[in-house]
Amino acid sequence: MEDISALMHGFAVALTPFNLLLMFIGVSLGVIIGVLPGLGGANGIAILLPLTFSMPPTSAIIMLSCIYWGALFGGAITSILFNIPGEPWSVATTFDGYPMAQQGRAAEALTAAFTSSFVGALVAVIMITFLAPLVARFALQFGPPEFFAVYFLTFCSFIGMGKEPPFKILASMMLGFALAAVGIDTVTGQLRLIFGWHELMRGFDFLIAVIGLFGVGEILLSMEEGLAFSGRAAKINSKIVLETWKKLPRYWATSIRSCLIGCWLGITPGGATPASFMSYGVAKRMSPDGQKFGTGQLEGVVAPETAAHAAGTSALLPMLALGIPGSPTAAVLLGGLLIWGLQPGPLLFIEQRDFVWGLIASMYLGNIAGLIMVLTCVPLFAAILRVPFSIIAPVIIVICSIGAYTVHNAMLDIWFMLLFGVAGYAFKKLSYPLAPLVLALVLGDRAEDAFRQSMLMSQGHVQIFFANWLVGSMTALGIVMLLWPLFSRWRERARKPAAAAAG
């Protein structure tokens, strides 16, 4: 019950007029970011982060997390009306959302998408409210080996659960670690990997990488596809909203399943995108109308949207409780914490109660604000997509450049952004995943510190990662994840001859 009173205190923190204003600004910026190609939650927040340096941290995180909620909502608008997923996690929403729009049921689809997003987020926030303090309290006993084991598990999960070829995931992740190592070594103070180029002393900031990889890279990709927007008009009125809301309780089972899938994949670094696909697939298999999926089923919109939002929201749990982000966007928020002078990790719940509970309270309020905004302003946001790409593309490049510059007031960073953009384009086309790269770049120094401290404790013996049941089981689970692709390939091979014999 202590947590409930802490939450109430959080509401008091979040409910000042200034913070409420920031919430609405954040959500509307977020929806715009979600609607625009080339700007997403991660790089949108990365670009706006420098503007919050002078704000109090609590207000800053409220605004930035609201941008995140807004971006999650915004992805659905373009998927349903234009058949263009504004965000990767809304790809699955196009399967049934766009057919519904073609049949003239766009408003119904949008209402369902927004409402189920809200439900997914709400469930995840409730889970965070009760689970995060417990996890943080538990993690207080962690020493360097335990933290390294958590990092190890996080990164191995990318390999075990990723769809990309395992060696590409590994290469991309390790590239992130290598880039993180550039600059001054935090332990010995030596200069690493700068090859006499002193401007590199600062190292590669992950914000630059995020803006380049996701922003510029995305623009290059969209340019190649030669975007021709042909959208459906939509206007939502209260009658349709109420009618849709009456239909939605029918899909309670799908909703619960999607929430579970979303929360699980959000906490583990699976992320919102696989969550939305998996949830769509499960709903299709379990639903009595499964055969009709893809032709404009309301349930086919409910499932991925619920899961994507649940995953996107619960990705903040490990970020808050352990200091380990579950998604690139959570990683950017974590970077924000460091810049505002807060040390992420379990101590945050003790030392920065106002901040943590203000943020959690703002998750409740921000999602309500988001739901109201998107339900009332859909035509406005959809109009943004009618602005031709030949205006939007250069404007986004300009915005990205400004964002890259403001991180360190360094001209060189703009060049790096461009370089990361080209790399992002090539990586995306060759299915090298970007999320592990970004997470490794954010966590690189901390993972290395944890590793070196553990090595010091044990005088160089790796056995320290198996010293007790806690660290041992995490390390073992990590190794299982790491070897998972081998195992699944072996199983596939064992099954194939059998299937061939049967067929």
Partner 1 sequence: MSDTPERSAEPAGGITTRSAEIAVAVVLFGIASLVIYDSARLGFRWGAEGPGAGYFPFYIGVIIAVSSIVNLVQAAFGRSRVRGAIFVQWQPLRQVLSVLLPAAVFVLGIQVIGIYVASAIYIAGFMLWLGKYGWFKSAVVGFAVAAVSFVTFEVWFQVPLYKGAFDPLAFLGY
Closer residue to partner 1 (CB): 188 or 463: 188
Q: Distance between CA atoms of 356 and 259, rounded to whole angstroms?
A: 23
Q: CB of 358 within 8 A of CB of 10?
A: yes
Binding flags for partner 1, 144-183, as an x/- string (CB under 8 A): ---------------------x-xx-xx--xx-xx--x--
Closer residue to partner 1 (CB): 168 or 202: 168
64 binds partner 1 (CB under 8 A): no
Pick from 67, 220, 348, 378: which binds partner 1 (CB under 8 A)?
220
Q: Distance between CA atoms of 209 and 264, rounded to whole angstroms?
A: 27
DSSP code of 231?
Answer: P
497 binds partner 1 (CB under 8 A): no
Closer residue to partner 1 (CB): 40 or 262: 40
Tokens representing 8 are 């109430």
486 binds partner 1 (CB under 8 A): no
Tokens representing 110 are 């949008």
Q: Distance between CA atoms of 211 and 44, rounded to whole angstroms?
A: 8
Pick from 448, 465, 474, 485: which binds partner 1 (CB under 8 A)?
448
Pick from 2, 17, 141, 190: which binds partner 1 (CB under 8 A)?
190
Q: What count of other Cβ atoms lies within 10 Å of the Cβ of residue 135? A: 17
39 binds partner 1 (CB under 8 A): no
Closest contact distance (angstroms) between CB of 316 and partner 1 is: 26
Q: Distance between CA atoms of 268 and 284, rounded to whole angstroms?
A: 24
| Residues between 410 and 439 that touch partner 1 (CB under 8 A) | 411, 414-415, 418, 421-422, 425-427, 429-430, 432
Closest contact distance (angstroms) between CB of 223 and partner 1 is: 5
How far is C-alpha 344 from the chain's CA centre? 17
60 binds partner 1 (CB under 8 A): no
- Which sign does the torsion angle of CA 100, 255, 381, 375 carry? positive
Nearest to 160 by CA among 485, 388, 455: 485
383 binds partner 1 (CB under 8 A): no
3-state SS assignment for residue 37: coil
All residues at 6 or more sequence positions from 297 whose CB lies less than 8 Å from its CB, including other chains: 96, 287, 289
3-state SS assignment for residue 283: helix
E-state strands within 133-275: 183-184, 191-192
Closer residue to partner 1 (CB): 43 or 314: 43
| Residues between 224 and 253 that touch partner 1 (CB under 8 A) | 224-226
Lookup result for tokens 């204003």: 21
How far is C-alpha 386 from the chain's CA centre? 27
Q: What is the CA radius of gyration of the chain?
A: 22
Closest contact distance (angstroms) between CB of 323 and partner 1 is: 19
Closest contact distance (angstroms) between CB of 136 and partner 1 is: 27
463 binds partner 1 (CB under 8 A): no
User: Footprint of partner 1 on this chain (CB under 8 A)?
Assistant: 50-51, 54, 165, 167-168, 170-171, 174-175, 177-178, 181, 185, 187-188, 190, 192-193, 195, 216, 219-220, 223-226, 388, 390-391, 393-395, 397-398, 401-402, 405-406, 409, 411, 414-415, 418, 421-422, 425-427, 429-430, 432, 448, 451-452, 455-456, 460
